[in-house]
Amino acid sequence: MYRNTIKLSLLFIAIILLGCDSPTPKLIPLKNNDVIVAFGDSLTQGVGVKRKDSYPSVLEAFTGLTVINAGISGETTHGGLKRFQRVIDEYNPSLLILLEGGNDILRGVSYKQIENNLEKMIVIAQDLNIQLVFIGVPEKSLFSDSAPFYTTLSEKYNLVFEPKIISKLMRSPSKKSDSIHFNKDGYALMAKEIYELLLESGALSSID
């Protein structure tokens, strides 16, 4: 009996330690003159609403920082990779929010190819010491949070990662303007979730 109690206690401790094994990555606090680039496709551009109601515009209002809307409707990760460096050179961001892959998934592009393209973008950003926030996109499944390669990349590169907000909004008809895109309330909620993630990761802790 005593040995069994010890084993159970050790198992309980191990479970606790495993739960604490992957702390949320921390970001360097942004300064008042730093620039954030929101990079992605139509969900970043804000299809379905006016530009002022896109998530980058709402996030700019939340943070008080310059947030560049670098979203292009219909873009795949292949197209994103081709312009990624150019956008970085133009805006010199301190932090980049990467949200791409949805169009690839809809078009049946192989997961390996999507992962490779996203990985190349991540490496470019990290090599330039640009902080990165990674947003996951769901598979073509009602109950998917995000496709598995998003988690794989976030763990490999120790990224601040949001796996659920897009899928949550995709399952919320009241937050959508059509079958894919969000409405004003949807983009506002998206901006709020990303803003809270930036607070949690420490990126906004030093902003006045």
pLDDT digits (tens, 9 = 90+) for 100-134: 999 999 999 999 999 999 999 999 999 999 999 99
Angstrom distance (rounded) from CA 181 to CA 170: 8
Q: Which pLDDT tens digit goes with each residue over 50-76?
A: 999 999 999 999 999 999 999 999 999
Please state the CATH superfamily assignment of the domain spanning residues 32-201 in this structure: SGNH hydrolase (3.40.50.1110)
Q: From residue 194, how far is each of 60, 190, 200, 201 by CA, in Å? A: 11, 6, 10, 10
Nearest to 101 by CA among 126, 134, 129: 134
User: Could you identify the residue written with the tokens 């990760």?
Assistant: 77
Q: From residue 67, how far is each of 141, 160, 172, 191, 200 by CA, in Å? A: 31, 18, 26, 11, 18
Tell if the pTM clears 0.85, that is, is over it.
yes
Would you tell me how many other CB atoms lie within 10 Å of the CB of residue 179?
7
In percent, the amount of the chain with pLDDT more than 70 equals: 87
